[in-house]
Structure 1
């Protein structure tokens, strides 16, 4: 694993006004990987370490299956039904934050439907949104367009999209991206 030495970050006023929000899934993952911590969660942890920001994980009320194929089946059904899976944990008070790092996987070239639930509930207009995502080769897909449509009054900064299977080798890339953003 290509680990970058973690520098301790002091808690700054910028960090106090920043939150890392993400959805991630552990378990069997594409291609043939078994993850104790989901790919997007791993990136969220690195962002939190480097920025000193707070962290909020979007937890589905009904957990996604451990089995990859069962998750694909459920995600496809949710897409087809335009479902809005419930979020188990209470959303943070976004009035406390100026900057939101927003992380998510791309599932079958789409945002997971639980992200639509989140976006319908979280008022992020007027905020700075910095997206990050993981994928199996589709890149951002249409997710940035969806975010900009949902939050037309937000300011978007350059995000980072990484193939899930490359996350464990991408620590230096993530640190460089954060440095360019001023963290």
Structure 2
């Protein structure tokens, strides 16, 4: 009898040991990975920045690619701003349309984006540079929405070869209340190196 009891206890011990070896998994019908200590540290190391949002406008996908690179690193939410009326698909037609809007001081109407701005402390704002300035859709967003003081805005820009300086100045002129971080500018020639540039920029603004 004692032998049988000993065997049963031994089998139970082996079963419990086997469960204990399934690191990073929760048994609830589905296999669920538990973040490593390093991952948890990374997710909680930027508390000073609060919950973050990456919001961007992209026409040729360059700004979108940078936005996704940033979002992959900082987490939070990501939203693409869209215009009610799409721009033409060819380069010449698009530039003609943009020049016309600039000449007539006309900003495009935006599709409504379901964003609760007040829940974010840090907003990464991305825009292409159009004729040396902030893109018209992003100018419209900054005119339509009033950012509160205490919000941190981290701007990033894409361009053919232009400096983001004027676009950044326009952004601050349209919305003076938030605190601004130094912008990230990525040209077409730098797109292939965007991940490294994003990492470098995030480290520079202490979001690493």
Match of 1:59 in 2: 82
- Of the three residues 60, 77, 90, the one matched with 2:113 is 90
Question: Higher RCO, 1 or 2 (CA under 8 Å, sep at least 6)?
Answer: 1
Alignment partner of 1:172 is 2:206: no
TM-score, normalized by length of structure 2?
A: 0.73
**For 1:11-26, what aligned pairs fall within 5 Å after superposition?**
11-12=43-44, 14=47, 17-26=51-60
Match of 1:39 in 2: 62
Residue 77 of structure 1, CA deviation = 0.7
SS in 2 for 1:143: helix
How many angstroms apart in 2 are the aligned matches of 1:147 and 1:111? 7
Number of residues of Structure 1 aligned to a counterpart in Structure 2: 166
How many angstroms apart in 2 are the aligned matches of 1:8 and 1:74? 46
Alignment partner of 1:50 is 2:84: no
- Unaligned 5+ segments in structure 2 are 1-37
The structure with the largest alpha-carbon Rg is 2
Which runs of 4 or more aligned residues in structure 1 lie more than 4 Å from their structure 2 counterparts after TM superposition?
7-16
How many angstroms apart in 2 are the aligned matches of 1:8 and 1:167? 27
Alignment partner of 1:71 is 2:105: no
Residue 16 of structure 1, CA deviation = 6.3
How many angstroms apart in 2 are the aligned matches of 1:165 and 1:88? 31
Match of 1:147 in 2: 171
Residue 123 of structure 1, CA deviation = 1.7
Residue 144 of structure 1, CA deviation = 1.5
CA-to-partner distance for each residue in 1:46-72, whole Å, 9 max, x for gaps? 000000121011111111122111111
TM-score, normalized by length of structure 1?
A: 0.82
Residue 164 of structure 1, CA deviation = 2.4
How many angstroms apart in 2 are the aligned matches of 1:119 and 1:170? 25
Looking at secondary structure, tell me which structure has more helix per residue.
2
**Residues 104 and 132 of structure 1 are in contact (CA less than 8 Å); yes or no, is this contact kept in structure 2?**
yes
**Residues 75 and 112 of structure 1 are in contact (CA less than 8 Å); yes or no, is this contact kept in structure 2?**
no
Q: Which deviates more, 140-149 or 124-133?
A: 140-149
- Unaligned 5+ segments in structure 1 are 1-6, 27-37
